[in-house]
Structure 1
Amino acid sequence: MRQRVQDPLVEEALHWLVVLKDRNASAADREAFDHWLQFDASHAAAWGRAQQVWMRLDRIGPAFRERPQVPRTPGPPRLVTAPATGAPSIPAPVRAGRRRFLYGVGAMAALALPAALVAMRSRVFATHATRAGERRTIVVEDGSGIELAGASSLSVDFTGDVRRIVLHDGEAAFDIVQDPSRPFEVHAASGYTRALGTAFDVKISGGLVAVAATEQSVLVSANGAEPVTVNEGQLVRYGPNRTGTVRDADLAHVEAWRRDRLVFQDTPLGEVIDDLERYRGGRIVLADSRLRALSVTGSYAASEADAVLDSLASSLPVRVMRLSGLLVVVSSRTPRQRNLPAER
């Protein structure tokens, strides 16, 4: 179930959470937060609820289990008094500047929970699974080889009639031992790929499945539609409702991950973020869904996912904010922020 933030006090608490994580937070900001927190017991309760929004994500919860230690500084706090209650609140410039950002972060954090649970559930039933940044080579019972990318999982289900693999998430490359009497199929999301040749790559990213034939050819069928043939050097993508057009593929680009490289050529930022999560670990949240369409081109070492984030912050109109070691938020930046470095 999604956790919705509707209480105005919880909204204020979420604002404070981001204010205090901002590297530009001042001593006055921290003291204002301390006064806000101590003003009324309801504020402390709201602060606890705000932390729970993040703690529901098991992988990032430890970073928010205790509120930041707020040092007191001499002098009067810089507060704005709410006319109806007299309660101290967030200074207006800070509140206005971060409101849209927080809405996006709060919503995306809540949405991340069901997706994380689905991934965890699939891994429980997986025959093989990798950690973030790991690559693993598997030889299945017929001698076929599978290379599994980071943060990926699959199940092996071989019967007397068919050799079936279910790719739950991530990416895998298949090098098949041919056996005409037992077709080799890889099922992913709403479709499947049947090997006609010896080698192909299947990747799940952003709700789409991409299939590339790296040697000979494959048949791809999705959503009950007629299969399409993908020949060597070609690629096709399919989603819940449609199958795209078969097109030429850059196989060096497709297989770059097998050489521990991340290569992007006019790749949508949303897909780039999915790849970075598989190598960095944790969650990378896009606070504005419109950012997913931004185009990214570049070649990077897979082990340097954080450096890729810094590069994105310097080359795209985005702001990268590391709220903890395992949570990164990518948001739009204003023209005045265009030359700001990524936050650490």
Structure 2
Amino acid sequence: MTHPAQDPVYLVALEWLARLNDEDAAEQDRRAFARWLDEDPAHPAAYARAQALWNRFELVRPAARRMQRRRAVLGALAALAAVPALYVLSRQHFLADYRSGVGERRRIVLADGSAVELGSDSALSVSFDAGRRHVTLHRGQAYFQVAADAARRFSVQAGDGVTTALGTQFDVKLLDGIVTVSVTEHAVAVRPRPGAAAVTVAAGWQMQYGESGGAAPVRFDQAATLAWRQDRLVFNDVPLATVLAELQRYQRGPIFLMDAGVGALPVTAAFHVSDPQEALRGLAETFPIRLRVVAGYATLVYAR
């Protein structure tokens, strides 16, 4: 069965919902919408689904604004993209030991003296005992400065893989199921999945892994990769879809890429993280895309 978030009819229904809720919607838009409804029995059903889910979002939004907590509204917003409820709950990470808010950077000193800097919208759990130091990055990004302890190795679980420090400083990012490990001092051993051979990644090198396994380490631009620690995002020939996913971590409202065809557009740009909407507007001025903001909250990105 097609997942609703990938169902083209559902995406068109979502587009109509956005267009009709726009204050600039004209009578001709409503007539065109009526024609679309009549074209196929699947169209009214898809629109009803989108409308019902959006209504749930409307019920939650006022409370979310008062609380100023992004996770409080994610369940309703995820419904807009038809993400199953259990998946939404799994993204809450209520039991994580440390979390950062949207747009927040947080520095943590662990019990062993290791320092961790959490990026925006990140969650981390820690499990130390007499024989090991194990950290789990549930989501987001973290920069690690590991304290020496010859008796206990320091490892970071992210996705299906584990990165073990070999006396080092390194960055781990988990974004859209892809883990990126960037080493700035000494080296790490990356095991991209259980049972896989570990790959040694030295300072100045970066390795990515995901469901399909791990890629070979490559050289990386340290200034660009770690710009988030100075509240900046720097992209060098990065696909637009990835740029939008990065900006999503700094914005409370969701960003939906409605036309996958523009997702591969290469982006070279730098943004300050304090205003992701300004960054989106800059992208729309530079690339063949247009933005539609629904109810002042969700941003839909279309090909222009």
The CA RMSD over aligned residues, in Å, is 3.4
Give the drift of 1:54. Answer: 2.7
| SS of residue matched to 1:303 | coil
1:281 has 2:219 as partner: no
1:108·1:286 contact (CA, 8 Å) conserved in 2? no
| Pair 1:260 & 2:231 matched | yes
Relative to structure 1, the CA distance from residue 302 to residue 13 in structure 2 (aligned partners, 3 Å threshold; closer, same or farther) is closer
Q: TM-score when scaled to structure 2? A: 0.81
Q: State yes or no: 1:211 paired with 2:184.
A: no
Residue 291 (structure 1) shift = 3.0
Matches of 1:198 and 1:59 in 2, distance apart? Answer: 47
The letter of the residue matching 2:53 is V
Say if 1:278 and 1:246 are closer, same or farther in 2 by CA, change over 3 A.
same
How far the C-alpha of 1:53 sits from its partner, in A, is 2.3
Aligned to 1:53: 53
Task: Output the CA distance in 2 between the equivalents of 1:114 and 1:169.
Answer: 16
Q: Determine which structure has greater relative contact order: mean sequence separation of CA pairs < 8 Å that are 6+ residues apart, divided by chain length.
A: 1
- Distance of aligned partners of 1:276 and 1:113 in 2 relative to their CA distance in 1, 3 Å threshold: farther
| CA shift for structure 1 position 24 | 3.8
SS in 2 for 1:124: coil
SS in 2 for 1:285: strand
Matched, 1:302 2:301: no
Q: Deviations over 1:144-203 (max 9, x none)?
A: 100001111010011111100000000000011011110000000010100112210000
Amino acid at match of 1:261: R
Matched, 1:117 2:85: no
* Residues 55 and 62 in structure 1, CA contact (< 8 A), matched pair in contact too: no
- Tell me whether 1:312 sits opposite 2:290 in the alignment: no
Structure 1 residues without counterparts, runs of 5 or longer: 35-43, 64-105, 334-344
Which of the two has higher C-alpha Rg? 1
Return the TM-score normalized by structure 1.
0.72
Query: Separation in 1 of the partners of 2:190 and 2:297?
Result: 36
Q: How does 1:107-186 map to 2 (within 5 A)?
A: 109-111=81-83, 115-120=87-92, 123-186=93-156
Match of 1:292 in 2: 263
Residues 20, 171 of structure 1: alpha-carbon distance in 2 compared, 3 angstrom cutoff: same
Q: Indicate the residue corresponding to 1:250 in structure 2.
A: 221
Q: Which amino acid aligns with 2:240?
A: L
Deviation of 1:118 after TM superposition, in Å, equals 2.6
Amino acid at match of 2:17: L
Aligned residues: 280
Percent of paired sites with the same residue: 40
How big is the shift at 1:13?
Answer: 7.1
Is 1:62–2:33 an aligned residue pair?
Answer: no
Q: CA deviation at 1:29?
A: 4.7
1:27 deviates by: 5.2
Q: Taking structure 1 as reference, are residues 303 and 124 closer, same or farther at Cα in structure 2, changes over 3 Å only?
A: same
The alpha carbon displacement at 1:5 in A equals: 11
Deviation digits for residues 78-117 of structure 1 (CA, Å, limit 9, x no counterpart): xxxxxxxxxxxxxxxxxxxxxxxxxxxx997114866533
Query: 2: CA distance between counterparts of 1:48 and 1:5?
Result: 17
